[in-house]
Structure 1
């Protein structure tokens, strides 16, 4: 090996060895020390993965006065009630009525209970449970209904169609 090759290899080793010192001075975690193989090649040792409990926290969480990331989008406000439309297929009459969250509401022989209703940018969505007096043991419908797409998740009943019209964010809007 020539003198210039040895100097180049030594310079590379010194440069790599200075990495941990510079990292410690900067407050970062030090890189593993380089390894020189018998052939003269400089290799970096594999860096061990930190355990989840040892994972470094971001500077924004730990440094006082650090800039704070903008808040994540907030959940839509819960509604106080809903507007529901129902169709009696025998008579052909369509009725729109209001229902309060959590309170069972009667329509003909159906009992409609709205558990959750939210106003979202894509349209209102509600979790509705509908029971029929003829089958009191099990609900005839239990699931999400979408105001913008009533056929997406619809009540399958021989006599009635029920769908979500809209959510109300104030108690005064839902009778």
Structure 2
């Protein structure tokens, strides 16, 4: 299943590569704590880190097609539980298709909302 998801992400990235691609200054992510139903939006600059509950999210970069920093944004994220070296998730997440390459965690969900441009 993960291989199929990875193939779809690569196909989406290849299709997007044919368009002019811009790199945003960061990304706005949304986190959900499934245990207490708390939602939090965080803004992270490229190369930055933020905590959402007990997970730490690192943003390598956020990219988007020319003129559409929100709907077709995709970001490279590494997500770790605080105090655990092995990542829970590492890879590209697509804002318009969050289920394409989702983070699988029993308590938290994280997804990309859009890239920041300033």
| TM-score with structure 2 setting the length | 0.75
Q: How many residues align?
A: 97
Shift of 1:116: 1.7
Report the 3-state secondary structure (helix = DSSP H, G, I; strand = E; otherwise coil) of the residue aligned with 2:98: coil
Paired position in structure 2 for 1:118? 63
Q: 5+ unaligned residues in a row in structure 1: which ranges? A: 1-72, 171-175
The one of 136, 147, 150 equivalent to 2:98 is 150
Residues 77, 169 of structure 1: 8 Å contact kept: no
Following TM superposition, the consecutive aligned residue runs of length 4 or more in structure 1 with deviations greater than 3 angstroms are: none
Aligned 1:74-153 pairs, distance under 5 A: 75-120=20-65, 123-134=72-83, 136-153=84-101
Q: Which has the higher contact order (CA 8 A, sep 6+)?
A: 2
Structure with greater proportional helix content: 1
| TM-score with structure 1 setting the length | 0.52
Shift of 1:77: 2.1
Cα distance in 1 for partners of 2:63, 2:92 equals 11
